[in-house]
Amino acid sequence: MTVANARFVEFAIPTKPDCEISKAYWQTATAVSEIADNFGLSGSGKVNSAVCDARLNGIVCGGCDQEMVVNTRSEAAGPISLHVRGRYWDLKKIQCETCRRAGKASRMAADIARMRQRYSKPALKEQTPKDEKAEFYLSWEWRTLRTKVLQQYGARCMCCGATPEHKTVGGEPVVIVVDHIKPLSKHWDLRLDRGNLQILCDECNQGKGAWDETDFRPVPKTEPGAQIQ
């Protein structure tokens, strides 16, 4: 199904029903170029900028089970086509933009992890005993600091954008963790350094591992050693 013959009129409902250009865009078969002429706009790009989003009535995302909301006819054509086919795997392929990006980031993280495991040098012997790590993660100091970091940034993965409302590729609820940018095994002295912490989902955290020190935080970076506020 192409954009030209997608069944917008049947499924697309504008989020702003009183907007005339949005009704013409989503609830008629009029070509976008003709809509531009009718409303005195200079081209298709101007039409896409002027119309509101639309929800696709009865078409839900296979990832988060929420009704699809789309920005343009082009974005709506694929989900409508898959929904009309109605086959199990076609319906599973319907994904909103958030789930699509989360799935792509998860797959990339898994691919990176596999490549690093294949080509990396043998890991150095862990400097910090495992029982000491376990005791640290149960400590009051760590739990308090972890809560402060979650309150500051929110429970959203800074790598892929996933939240606890999303699901993993395997269909499990996303788990959010507080990650040490510089790993404990190599930088035990930074274990309570707030400037060394970021929010990741468990899948991105596992993909990052103890060999990667990427800082995914969108805010200005704080050098390790800063005082805890």
Residue 55 confidence (pLDDT): 93
CA–CA distances in Å: residue 6 to residues 12, 74, 75, 81, 87: 10, 9, 11, 7, 18
Q: Is residue 72 predicted with pLDDT exceeding 60? A: yes
Dig out the tokens for 99 from the structure: 């789930």
DSSP state of 189: G
Which tokens belong to 78?
Answer: 């694929």
Instruction: Grade residue 21 by pLDDT with cuts at 50, 70 and 90.
Output: very high
Per-domain boundaries in the chain = 8-95, 99-208
* pTM: predicted TM-score of the whole model, two decimal places: 0.43
Q: What is the residue type of 141?
A: E
More confident site: 228 or 66: 66
| pLDDT more than 90, % of the chain | 40
Question: Lowest mean pLDDT: which of 4-18, 131-145, 189-203?
Answer: 4-18
Residue 42 has pLDDT above 80, yes or no: yes
Highest mean pLDDT among 6-15, 71-80, 143-152: 143-152
Q: What is the pLDDT of residues 129-159, one digit of tens each?
A: 667 888 998 999 999 999 999 999 999 999 9
- The answer to whether 163 and 174 are in contact (CB under 8 A) is yes
DSSP class per residue in 128-146: S-HHHHHHHHTSHHHHHHH
**Gap between the Cα atoms of 105 and 136, Å rounded:** 30
Give pLDDT, residue 89.
84
CB 133 within 8 A of CB 184: yes
pLDDT at 223: 58
